[in-house]
Amino acid sequence: MPRAAMAPIFDGGRTVRFVERVYPDPEPGEIRIAVEANAICWTDRAIFEEGSRVVAGHEVAGIVEQTGAGATVEVGTRGVVFLMDFCGSCRSCRRGFTNQCEAKRRDTGFDADGGYGPFALVHETNFFPVPKNLDAPSATLLLDVMGTGGHALERLSQVRSDVESLLVCGAGPIGLGVLAMAKIRLGADTPVYVTDLFTQRLELAESLGGIVASPHDIRGYDAAIDTSGKQVAREQGLAALSKRGALVCVGHGEGLALNVSEDLIAPERSVLGSEYFRFDELPGNLDLLLNSGDVFRQVITGTVPVSEIQAGLERFFAGAPGKIIVTQGAL
């Protein structure tokens, strides 16, 4: 049966109001999820300021509440939602590059109701089950924190296999995810340097094993990953690279100015983009979360009930460190 429930709508101007939304029965191949948790993302800032006709939230964890015809996942299954509703049949999808789908149907939380509301309708193919005993806030770490951070490191590995030092520009949640994943993938002894404008974020990065670096003193790193989306950070990262160094751009936002001959050709440097992650990266990240969860859970620094979402958003966008999770009901 269709479900009617109150959900937060971003009206723009950093205001939130609760309105009644009707969540229909799932169509064939769809499932309806009872949302348990959704992590706040810096990308939500633009929606918070400009408004949206749909319920925001794209880092969704919840339990399958109802299934449509043909769906095989069982009611009661806990899992997370892959942001991009990939088609599964285009050239990119057939090769596993679901983050580069050429016929994407929608993006949860951007043009379809997302996880700040009590329910979400998604295609079964975009739902990744997790063990029932994995709490929902922790499950959200599989998405932007571990997924996006890990994919950036995978992109880096395609052009530089001998990374002995890494610079992370930006100590927000994705930057912390890169840091935590780098300590596992590159080795605990590999130095990972971090820059940010917020002292609290840098303190959290240090607790995860990062080394605070001054943007004016950084030189000679094998790789840099920019999660800030700021042009000045990208250009500082590029300038800090050694020969054969690689810059991976993760954060959306501003541009990058460079001199092709001096910055790229002569030192044989690489500049790469890294967009979200592939659906098939989730199983490996789940294994990491189950085996090294204490490391990644440090990124979660607070939870707020959806009734206090306005305060949670204001706190996060004021520079609070780590991830703030918006929760629905009892967990």
- Residue 293: what pLDDT? 86
Please say if the pLDDT value at position 215 is more than 70.
no
Closest CA to 181 of 215, 209, 160: 209
> Span 281-302, mean pLDDT?
96
pLDDT digits (tens, 9 = 90+) for 72-128: 999 999 999 999 999 999 999 999 999 999 999 999 999 999 999 999 999 999 999
Q: Which residues of 106-132 are buried (b: 16+ CB within 10 A; e: fewer)?
A: eebbbebbbbbbbbbbbbbbbbbebee
* Mean pLDDT of the residues in the chain: 96
Find the length of the chain: 331
Taking the CB of residue 144, how many other CB atoms lie within 10 A of it? 24
pTM for the structure as a whole: 0.95
Topology (CATH level 3) of domain 3-129+299-327: Quinone Oxidoreductase; Chain A, domain 1 (3.90.180)
Are the C-beta atoms of residues 87 and 105 closer than 8 Å to each other? Answer: yes
Query: Residue 13 and residue 253: Cα distance in Å, rounded?
Result: 20
Please give the DSSP secondary-structure letter assigned to residue 107: B
Domain boundaries, the chain: 3-129+299-327, 148-273
- Residue 303: what pLDDT? 97
- The architecture in CATH of the region 148-273 reads 3-Layer(aba) Sandwich (3.40)
